[in-house]
């Protein structure tokens, strides 16, 4: 079934679904047996530990490098292009739901050590920081596949400290360093309740280009995926 043919039955990551817990409940139910799933209290505790390392009363920046860039589902006061150093974007987490299935797993982007990564920074006002970041935490941190990290981002208007999500290399979903051909094969065929891996890749690249950024690795993958579909 094509993505367009089944689009009316797709789940969607929306602000409302994150606020009322609908998306979180669906995600938890779809996790493979043995997956560690955090409770609501554990998610909030992780967020509070992260915010405790941030100056009280200051606005908070969130760095997005995948779907957060083009579908943040949060309220923000400002958006900027930026680049972080010491981390790079890589397809390194298996997806058995969302944009994959147990029979045909997809792959998800995460940050790994080394290199640099361009992305989108969202400034959230101090008054709304916890409530808005909680939506991002419910979206990204309901398992322990990611760790939250503070990073320094370079923007046209100077350096900012931002929070983001990096890969947990000890997690059972961690795929390691797959070669590009293997990644492209997964991206070309995998899809699930949120859509296809191809759409995720295309939307990520389109957003980077619109913000004046590039990612040569993702561009190579896009070409490889196109070749595999010919």
What's the gap between Cα 210 and its chain centre? 18
Name residue 82's beta-bridge partners.
Answer: 119
Question: Coil, strand or helix: which one is 194?
Answer: coil
Joined together, the tokens standing for residue 111 give 């940050």
Active site residue 140: yes
The structure tokens listed for 122 are 């969202």
The C-alpha atoms of residue 69 and residue 62 are separated, in whole angstroms, by 10
Provide DSSP, 133-183.
HHHHHHHH-SBSSEEEEEEEEEETTEEEEEEEEEE-TTSTTB--S--HHHH
Catalytic residue among 128, 140, 219, 230: 140
* Catalytic machinery residues: 140
């Amino acid at each position: 079934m094509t993505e367009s043919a089944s689009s009316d039955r797709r789940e969607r990551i929306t602000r409302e679904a994150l606020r009322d817990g609908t998306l979180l409940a669906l995600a938890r139910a779809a996790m493979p047996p043995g997956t560690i799933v955090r409770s609501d209290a554990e998610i909030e505790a992780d967020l509070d530990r992260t915010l405790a390392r941030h100056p009280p009363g200051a606005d908070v920046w969130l760095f997005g490098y995948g779907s957060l860039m083009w579908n943040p589902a949060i309220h923000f006061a400002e958006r900027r292009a930026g680049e972080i150093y010491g981390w790079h974007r890589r397809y390194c987490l298996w997806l058995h739901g969302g944009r994959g299935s147990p029979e045909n797993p997809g792959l998800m982007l995460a940050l790994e050590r080394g290199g640099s990564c361009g992305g989108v920074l969202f400034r959230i006002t101090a008054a709304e920081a916890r409530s808005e970041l909680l939506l991002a935490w419910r979206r990204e941190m309901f398992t322990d596949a990611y760790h939250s990290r503070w990073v320094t981002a370079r923007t046209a208007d100077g350096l900012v400290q931002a929070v983001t999500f990096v890969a947990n290399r000890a997690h059972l979903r961690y795929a390691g360093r797959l070669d590009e051909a293997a990644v492209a094969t997964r991206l070309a065929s995998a899809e699930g309740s949120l859509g296809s891996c191809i759409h995720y890749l295309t939307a990520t690249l389109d957003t980077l280009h619109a913000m004046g950024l590039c990612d040569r690795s993702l561009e190579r993958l896009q070409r490889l995926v196109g070749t595999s579909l010919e």
